[in-house]
């Protein structure tokens, strides 16, 4: 059976991944909509920024997060002074790192779903007098639910396995920032810890498969449900 330490690592990993996905969901939907339907100057800049975490080494991404959101950083210092929120070396910082690393995959899944919606539907809604926000909430958003569902599951799985940016930004603190991937990295350096590594690896595989199955279920459910429901 799993030890209390392993269960604590599991719950921390689930909390970090869940907060990462739910916290980035509104921004992911907005970014995907702008990239799929937007026609504005500097669109390529937004595209680059969204995909930048995929292009940079994860350690560099974690370092940039530390520079920006550390207690001495411009954003981190402001959050600390204004709201008493400290992200560096805290589980919330691990959620931020996981969200940043999963964001490109999240946005791409939703963007492909929006791009698959025929523009004639959007144009018909506009012809009936629907404003852009109404078209987004009543047409685009309901029809893109399969992509949103798939993106959430994909981002959740990515957040569970995040390592490089997390360990650079929030370190590897037991009970605070030590997620599944960080725990396995730590136990690899401990002689005789192979059984614990094996159990954590099994947990990781089960969670990844579970995320895939939930994704398939959510996509099928969203695809066959009428938008008006």
Judge residue 3's burial from the number of C-beta atoms within 10 Å of its C-beta, 0-12 exposed, 13-18 middle, 19 or more buried: exposed
Q: What pLDDT score does 149 carry?
A: 87
- Give domain status of residue 139, yes or no: yes
Taking only the tens of pLDDT, the chain with its 229 residues reads 677 888 889 999 999 999 999 999 999 999 999 998 878 888 889 999 999 998 999 999 999 999 999 888 899 888 888 888 888 888 999 999 999 999 999 999 999 988 888 878 877 877 777 777 777 888 888 888 888 988 998 899 899 889 999 999 999 988 888 999 999 988 888 888 888 888 888 888 888 888 778 777 776 766 545 444 4
36 CB contacts (<8 Å, ≥6 apart)? 111, 114, 115
- Give domain status of residue 229, yes or no: no
For residues 114 and 33, the answer to whether their CB atoms sit within 8 Å is yes
Q: What pLDDT score does 1 carry?
A: 66
CA atoms within 13 Å, Cβ hemisphere of 93: 33
Q: What pLDDT score does 222 carry?
A: 62
Residues of the domain holding 139: 4-224
CATH number (domain holding residue 158) = 1.10.3720.10
Report which secondary-structure segment, H or E, holds 196: helix 194-224
Count of domains in the chain?
A: 1
Q: What pLDDT score does 224 carry?
A: 44
- Cα 76 to Cα 82: distance, rounded to the nearest angstrom: 10
Q: What pLDDT score does 226 carry?
A: 47
Q: What b-and-e string marks burial along 82-98, b requiring 16 or more CB atoms within 10 Å of the CB?
A: eeeebbbbbbbbbbbbb
For residues 88 and 69, the answer to whether their CB atoms sit within 8 Å is yes
DSSP 65: H
């Amino acid at each position: 059976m799993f030890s209390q330490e392993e269960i604590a690592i599991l719950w921390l990993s689930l909390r970090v991944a869940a907060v990462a996905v739910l916290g980035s969901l509104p921004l992911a939907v907005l970014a995907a909509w702008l990239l799929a339907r937007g026609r504005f100057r500097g669109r390529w800049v937004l595209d680059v920024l969204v995909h930048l975490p995929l292009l940079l080494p994860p350690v560099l991404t974690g370092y940039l997060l530390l520079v920006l959101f550390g207690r001495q950083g411009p954003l981190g210092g402001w959050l600390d002074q204004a709201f008493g929120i400290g992200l560096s070396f805290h589980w919330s910082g691990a959620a931020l790192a996981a969200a940043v690393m999963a964001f490109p995959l999240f946005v791409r899944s939703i963007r492909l779903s929006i791009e698959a919606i025929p523009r004639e539907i959007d144009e018909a809604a506009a012809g009936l007098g629907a404003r852009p926000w109404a078209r987004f909430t009543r047409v685009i958003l309901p029809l893109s639910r399969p992509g949103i569902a798939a993106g959430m599951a994909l981002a959740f799985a990515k957040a569970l396995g995040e390592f490089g940016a997390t360990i650079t930004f929030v370190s590897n603190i037991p009970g605070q920032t030590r997620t599944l991937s960080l725990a396995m990295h730590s136990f690899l350096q401990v002689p005789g810890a192979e059984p614990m590594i094996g159990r954590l690896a099994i947990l990781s595989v089960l969670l990844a498969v579970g995320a895939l199955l939930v994704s398939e279920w959510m996509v099928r459910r969203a695809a066959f449900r009428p938008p008006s429901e």
